[in-house]
Amino acid sequence: MKNRIQQLVSQSLQALSAEGVLEPEALRVPQVENARDPAHGDFATNAAMVHAKSAGMKPRELAKRLVAALPRDERIAQVSIAGPGFINFTLADAAWQQVVGEVLRAGEAYGRCNHGNGCRVQVEFVSANPTGPLHVGHGRGAAYGAVTADLLEAVGYDVHREYYVNDAGRQMNILAVSVWLRYLELCDETLRFPTNAYKGDYIWDIAAKLHREQGDALHHPAAAVFSGIPPDEGDEAHPEGDKEAHIDALIERARALLGEAGYRVVFDTGLGVILDDIRDDLEHFGIHYDEWYSERRLVESGAVERAIARLREAGHVYADDNGTLWFRSTAFGDEKDRVVVRENGQPTYFASDIAYHLEKFERGFEQVIDVWGADHHGYVPRVKAALEAFGADPGRLEVLLVQFAILYRGGEKVQMSTRSGQFVTLRQLRKDVGKDAARFFYVMRKCEQHLDFDLDLASSKSNENPVYYVQYAHARVGSVLRQAGEKGLTVPETVESVDLSHLAEPREQALLRDLARFPEVVLNAALNREPHALPHYLRELATDFHSYYNACQILVDDAALRDARLALILAVRQVLRNGLALIGVSAPERM
């Protein structure tokens, strides 16, 4: 009905234009909003105030002319003028009642539209370094990215979901060395494990796999491995120790002792195990990708070198006295210039990011959305600067920053540290609270807000648990339908046979208004990248349904009234199911 009212107001504006009251070029698409105060009606437009100046009238005077020119529509019960010139619309009961038929006829398609008109959008999310299992922080980015992508698809965009696999670079080399050193310990070598290595139990598991498959083929004495290596931080015999220099030297020593082929075996074993684990975790979390894009493939294809060459040719890079190559990003609004090639000739992560984002647009995406952790906020201006340097529109890249999720158990904060291996994995979270609760809780807050995740609440079966509360509303409808079957009562097969005018109770009217809002909630959540609007809406719908269920008998003796109420709760069930599906949460029939 909001769209219908917008059409009616547009026709009224055009009629006044035809009379010479308004110039055609002065016409604007009227804004129609939900009325803030129910006493003022259901919808309101400020069209009179927007066009008053061009008409040379006071807003209330123009509002009267607009109301007089409005085409009649039997679904509108009253039109009034309020305040400085707002035009308020009150709908007839029949207008609200017809939403039941719209929901039931559309089924799973209710709430979907073609607003995006097939515009190609890439959504890249999670993209965690494959250096360890996904933890609860990654889980929030996964849920947020997945729901954002699903919402965009629901409103007509052609969405490509992508995971950028950081399978090249220093962190992956640290992983490889960590695995190899644990492997050497399994070969009965005694060594001091580096401060800056990965220490989680999963490293032992990968090392054990490597040992089973390679035996002693990759074994070298610890003395040979550590001879001449700069001391580590925390080494009591060498207080000047540097953990970064220590781990970097061990990487080079591993390459030298193992040779490129042997090193690649270690590297690929670690990468393969962790990447398979990540894929499995995300699949069980209901996250599906159209493409897993390899950074190593990007580097080996020469794309990074070509990107740097293009910047060099355009005069956007320069070398310092040490041979380090810098991108002149300050020329495009960044706070400082950025290194793209290190002194040793190795491209930086940023260089790969430049090439990757350039390649995204070369693939024909009209809009690119990156979902990053909030700690990557400093990367946004530099990547946009690089795109501008290439002549691309940086506005086509949208970066959504997701804040951290903080776990609480028994009122106490759960401590986590990724490098030390002390963290709660996404897999453990699923085991503790279930996929449904995790997905729902993750998107209950705006992405830029910190999320306090109460594990006890998420696993509870009570009305205080929002996902349980919403799912219970869906299951309650199923319970009513089963009761009807047990009593030998028939459920209407089509809404066309139902007299919906019986839905006149205030609680029924509230539910009808809830159902009518759903398509707008979905559209706004998609366009504003605000998945949290969905769980909030579903909780409101569930609250109104539970209130209705407790106050009004549905399986009454009056067949006409009973059929109308059954049709209403079937529509409620459908919308609950559609909304939960967009969040990636199941809609159980029984609880």
CATH for the stretch 462-583: 1.10.730.10
Encoded tokens for 12: 């009224």
In 3D space, the residue among 133, 80, 224, 135 whose CA is nearest the CA of residue 404 turns out to be 135
Residue 20, burial from CB neighbour count under 10 angstroms (0-12, 13-18, 19+): exposed
In this structure, which amino acid lies at residue 62? L
Burial of 431 by CB count in 10 Å (0-12 exposed, 13-18 middle, 19+ buried)?
A: exposed
Q: Helix 506-527 to helix 93-106 angle, to the nearest 10 degrees?
A: 60
In whole angstroms, give the CA distance from residue 101 to residue 503: 13
Domain ranges across the chain: 2-91, 462-583
Token couple for 517: 């809002």
Please report the pLDDT score of residue 337 as a whole number: 95
How far apart are alpha carbons 364 and 525 in whole angstroms? 25
Strand order in the sheet with 338-341: 317-319, 325-327, 338-341
Concatenating the DSSP letter of every residue in 233-277 gives: TT-TT-TT--HHHHHHHHHHHHHHHHHHHHHHHHHHHHHHHHHHH
Helix (H) or strand (E) segment spanning residue 355: helix 349-362
CA gyration radius, the chain: 30
User: DSSP per residue over 206-236, as a string?
Assistant: HHHHHHHHHTTTT---HHHHHTTPPPPTT-T
Residue type, 323: G
Longest CA–CA span in the chain (Å) reads 95
CB–CB of 386/397 below 8 Å? no
Q: How many whole angstroms separate alpha carbon 158 and alpha carbon 156?
A: 7
Residue with tokens 């809830």: 514
Task: Give the CA angle between residues 175, 180, 181 to the nearest 5°.
Answer: 100
Look up residue 296 and give its two tokens: 């190593």
C-alpha to C-alpha distance for 383 and 124, rounded to whole angstroms: 15
Give the Cα-Cα-Cα angle 229, 231, 237 (nearest 5 degrees). Answer: 130
CATH entry, 2-91, from 3.50.50.60, 3.40.630.30, 3.30.1360.70, 3.90.1200.10: 3.30.1360.70
Which 3 state secondary structure label does DSSP give 527?
A: helix
280 contacts: CB under 8 Å, gap ≥ 6: none
Among 368, 300, 312, CA closest to 125 = 368
The two three-digit tokens of residue 330, written as one number: 């300050």
**DSSP characters over 484-552:** HHHTTPPPPS-GGGS-GGG--SHHHHHHHHHHHHHHHHHHHHHHTT-TTHHHHHHHHHHHHHHHHHHHS
Q: Backbone phi, then psi, for 161, in 5-degree steps?
A: -95, 130
CA–centroid distance for 429 within its chain: 18
> Can you give the pLDDT of all 591 residues of the chain as single tens digits?
888 999 999 999 999 999 999 888 888 888 999 888 878 889 999 999 999 998 999 999 999 999 999 999 989 999 999 989 999 999 999 999 999 999 999 999 999 999 999 999 999 999 999 999 999 999 999 999 999 999 999 999 999 999 999 998 889 999 999 999 999 999 999 999 999 999 989 999 999 999 999 999 999 999 999 999 999 998 878 888 899 999 999 999 999 999 999 999 999 999 999 999 999 999 999 999 999 999 999 999 999 999 999 999 999 999 999 999 999 999 999 999 999 999 988 899 999 999 999 999 999 999 999 999 998 898 999 999 999 999 999 999 999 999 988 899 888 888 765 544 567 899 999 999 999 999 999 999 999 999 999 999 999 999 999 999 999 999 999 999 999 999 999 999 899 999 999 999 999 999 999 999 999 999 999 999 999 999 999 999 999 999 999 999 999 999 999 999 999 999 999 999 999 999 999 999 999
Q: Which uninterrupted H or E stretch holds 305? A: helix 303-313
> Of 389, 380, 365, whose CA–CA distance to 307 is shortest?
389
Look at residue 417 in the predicted model and tell me its pLDDT.
56
Exposed e or buried b for every residue in 278-307, given b needs 16+ CB within 10 A? beebbeebbbebeeebbbbebbeeebbeeb
Among 570, 578, 486, 510, which Cα is nearest to 538's?
578
